[in-house]
Amino acid sequence: MRFVAFALYVAAFGAYVWHFARREAAVGRAATTLLVAAAFAHTFLIGMQTMEIGHVPFAGPTSAISTFVWMLALAYLYAEMATEERAMGAFILLLIVALQTIPTISPGIEDRAEVLESPLFGIHVSSLLFAYASFALACMIGITYVLLFKEIKAKHLGFFYARLPSLQVLDTMNQRAIVIGWVFLTIGLVVGAVWANQTASTDPRVQAMQLQDPKIFLAVVCWAVYSFEAFAARRIGWGGRRTAYLSAIGFAIVLLNFVPISYFLTRSHNF
């Protein structure tokens, strides 16, 4: 099943790229259909894994990536339907395919550590994953903003000019994704902190839930970056391209935290 979902994501990626390059309406519809099919297959996959192990698989780094990809696909589909704009699909699907490669090669479905059997844990992980999916969208929107901005600024109205929506629309979408992401990031962090304080476990990983832990530290850095972007940047005149860059930087930190740090560096979050 995981290969089916992956193959559908790859096919959708191909279709979105084709649609972006050639702008054939039928290909665009096919791309959306493929992505919907992929999201369904992925939902089914996660559902099967849940039944197999008795809980939603997102505690370990690999299964968290899978869940993140799933949420990103859903968030993107929502954005596409709300804006009727497919231009971002090629960019988002690139990220989806790249990340989904990891759980496809080795699913890494874990038994859940005893200490994680708390409803707060579920809220913590799902809000953070959702926040990251929003930031991924914001990052991709930011990248396309910069590409379009450069074409207009350089007075060379070419490829992206013909394909992307207006700078204003991209900026608004970016801002919205950032604010939604920020809300969920805040919820996720607060719930995580409350839960870590409540738990009287002697698990060494719980003992390591300190600000010095790289994963927790970077999450707080992320929160600072996104708080600035969501609420302060525009007030000091950092509109447009600078906020777009900021979205990319923020998501780079998210990715760093999400993949290499989860696998190799953290002592607290390696379940």
Partner 1 sequence: MRIYLIGLSHQTAPVELRERLDFQARGVDAALQTLGKRAAAREVVVLSTCNRAELYATCEDLDTARRDLHAFLSEYHDVTEQAVAPHLYERTDLDAARHLFRVAAGLDSLVVGEPQILGQVKDAHSAASAAQSSGAILNRLFHASFAVGKRVRTETGLGAGAVSVSFAAVSLARKIFGDLSERAVVVVGAGEMGKLTARHMKSQGAPHITIVSRSMAHAARTAEAIGGASVAPWDDLDASLAAGDIVIAATGAASPILTKARLEAIMRTRRGRPLFIIDIAMPRDVEAAAGELEQVFLYNIDDLQSTVRENMARRASEVARAESIVAEELEKFAAWLRSRGAVPTIVALRQHFEAIRRAELDRLLKQSSLTAEAQERVEDITRLFMEKLLLTPTEQLKLLGDQEIVGAYSEALTRLFGLGSSHAAESDAHRSRVIDGTFNRNTRR
Query: Counting contacts by CB under 8 A, is residue 155 touching partner 1?
Result: yes
Range in contact with partner 1 (rule: CB under 8 A) among 45-53, 63-71, 109-117, 240-248: 240-248
Quick one: DSSP state of residue 264?
I
Query: Counting contacts by CB under 8 A, is residue 159 touching partner 1?
Result: no
Range in contact with partner 1 (rule: CB under 8 A) among 38-46, 79-87, 110-118, 157-165: 157-165
The single residue among 140, 141, 148, 255 that binds partner 1, judged by CB under 8 A, is 148
Q: How far is CA 123 from CA 55, 114, 119, 130, 192, in A?
A: 13, 17, 7, 10, 8
Q: Considering the complex, state which of residue 247 and residue 262 has its C-beta at the smaller distance from partner 1.
A: 247
d(CA 137, CA 13): 15
**Binders of partner 1 among 125-144, rule CB under 8 A?**
none
CA 214: distance to chain centroid? 20
**Binders of partner 1 among 11-40, rule CB under 8 A?**
23-25
Quick one: DSSP state of residue 111?
P
Q: Considering the complex, state which of residue 119 and residue 158 has its C-beta at the smaller distance from partner 1.
A: 158
Closest distance to partner 1 from the beta carbon of 89 (Å): 18
- φ, ψ of residue 224 to 5 degrees: the values are -65, -45
Closest distance to partner 1 from the beta carbon of 107 (Å): 42
Task: Write the DSSP assignment of 26-87 as a string of letters.
Answer: HHHHHHHHHHHHHHHHHHHHHHHHHHHHSS-S-SSHHHHHHHHHHHHHHHHHHHHHHHT--T
Quick one: DSSP state of residue 237?
T
The single residue among 51, 200, 211, 236 that binds partner 1, judged by CB under 8 A, is 236
Closest distance to partner 1 from the beta carbon of 153 (Å): 6
Q: Read off the tokens for 186.
A: 């805040």
The single residue among 51, 54, 114, 153 that binds partner 1, judged by CB under 8 A, is 153
Query: Counting contacts by CB under 8 A, is residue 84 touching partner 1?
Result: no
d(CA 129, CA 68): 5
Closest distance to partner 1 from the beta carbon of 34 (Å): 20
The single residue among 238, 253, 256, 267 that binds partner 1, judged by CB under 8 A, is 238
**Binders of partner 1 among 166-195, rule CB under 8 A?**
166-169
Sign of the CA dihedral running 180, 184, 187, 193: negative
End-to-end CA distance of the chain: 24
Q: Considering the complex, state which of residue 40 and residue 245 has its C-beta at the smaller distance from partner 1.
A: 245
d(CA 177, CA 110): 31
Closest distance to partner 1 from the beta carbon of 251 (Å): 21
The single residue among 60, 142, 165, 214 that binds partner 1, judged by CB under 8 A, is 165
d(CA 193, CA 148): 40
Binding site for partner 1 (CB under 8 A): 23-25, 148, 152-153, 155, 157-158, 161-162, 165-169, 234-242
